[in-house]
Amino acid sequence: MGGSVSTVRITAQDAAHVANIDGAVISALELGHVRLVSAAYLLRHSTKKLCRQQDLASIKGALLTPQQAVKLMRAADRRVFAVSYGWLSAGSPDPFGKRLEAIQQALLWLRGRKLLPRDAGVFLDFCSLPQKPRTAAEDAAFQAGLGSMANLYASALGVTVLQLKAVPPRPKEVAGAVRVLRLPRLASESTALLQRSYERFGELLEVRACAEREATVRFATREAARKAIAFDPAALGLGSEVVVVPEYNDRAYDHRGWCVFEESVALEFLSRSRKPGNEGMRQILEAPPRAKLYLIGRSGAPPQPVEPCGPQDKVIVQRRIEAATFTGKADRRIVLEMYRRFQLEAAVAAQRFQQAASGGAEASEHKSGQRTLARQALAAEDAARRHLRACELHVAKDARPFRV
């Protein structure tokens, strides 16, 4: 990181514009579909609980303004930080505060090495995208923001990814608990039906409504909970859309579909730069002082930069996504579509990186090229803005993506 770029005939910022991969992200930030959390706020946050974006909006200084967020992205030195992690429950990504603790420790480490700018912003999906319950306007913003996720994690020079793979041990108090999602009626009206449906699997300790159309069922044993999760809810008369998941999800990062997707796109351009002949592209990508991807959250270990061994095989990535576990029934299809569409953009962006790295033969040609690239950047951002407003990524209301 931070090596010399004297042989590159175009600046890192211009290279980011050439790639045009940041256009969708800049537009999502500009329109407020995605909000960045202030890193300074996260470091002084003492409640040990991540808050919904809607709640953070009422806390002064917790969220960056759209203008501040766009400025960070356009700085092209990775001063936006995006956290990739698996949610630990359907209702909250961090019900016991362990995720926030690991993120704070990573930010402190970065700050101690002068790698965390004072104005840095952090993308945390629970805090950066509108969460349920959502109004119609918030739901539209959520869908539009979701459409920029591939570009956000992939951003070669705008975003540093903090990859939190470690999963805290399952607390005893939730060992036998499951969460029933997408009930056909209000959870408070379904508790009696759930009691009758699930007592066949073992002793029930509790059945309670925890959110609209969601309920927690707690068994005396984990074995009973496993049986309940494995049984088709439709066969119990609960409806075909009902999903049953562990109340505490300790599934490994590498087995979660959204996590596999985020890791793959985060490494996309670094891996492409490892191809023979792409040395100039690699030089541009290694110019920022911060690594593209850090592994964080390992017990007693500082953040560790992650480097790809070589180019990624998109077919293998798609197979990993297909083999991974998703909670939402439609999520696998949604994520595969997002990845395939991203690959089309990435191929063009990588070519432009190479062109940026090679520069022009004459200074006049170089200046002319810079003006052309600037026009291309503006056109790409306008196109991305229109794309987000149109919400091309349509997800039916009965198939909302889960991050659990």
pTM: 0.86
Q: Is residue 4's pLDDT more than 50?
A: no
Burial code (b: 16+ CB inside 10 Å, e: under 16) for 169-189 equals ebeeebbbbbbbbbbeeebee
Structure tokens at 212: 């609209």
Give the model's confidence band at 95: pLDDT under 50 very low, under 70 low, under 90 confident, else very high.
very high
Give the model's confidence band at 70: pLDDT under 50 very low, under 70 low, under 90 confident, else very high.
very high
Torsion of CA 149, 151, 154, 158, to 10 degrees: -110
Region 192-199 average pLDDT: 94
Q: What is the pLDDT of residue 185?
A: 81
Structure tokens at 320: 């990993």
Give tens-digit pLDDT for 8-57: 445 665 566 556 789 999 999 999 999 999 999 999 987 778 999 999 99
Region 193-204 average pLDDT: 95
Q: What is the pLDDT of residue 201?
A: 97
Instruction: List, in sequence order, every residue forming a beta bridge with 209; answer none if it has no partner.
Output: 215
CATH 3.30.70.330 positions along the chain are 172-246
What CATH superfamily is the domain 172-246?
A: RRM (RNA recognition motif) domain (3.30.70.330)
Q: Is residue 352's pLDDT more than 90?
A: no
Give the model's confidence band at 309: pLDDT under 50 very low, under 70 low, under 90 confident, else very high.
confident
Where residue 114 falls (left for φ over 0; alpha for ψ -120 to 50; beta otherwise) is left
Region 316-321 average pLDDT: 97
Query: 60, 124 in Cβ contact below 8 A?
Result: no
Q: What is the pLDDT of residue 12?
A: 60
User: Percentage of residues in the chain with pLDDT exceeding 70?
Assistant: 84
Q: What is the pLDDT of residue 353?
A: 77
Name which of 279-283, 369-373, 390-394 the model is least confident about: 390-394
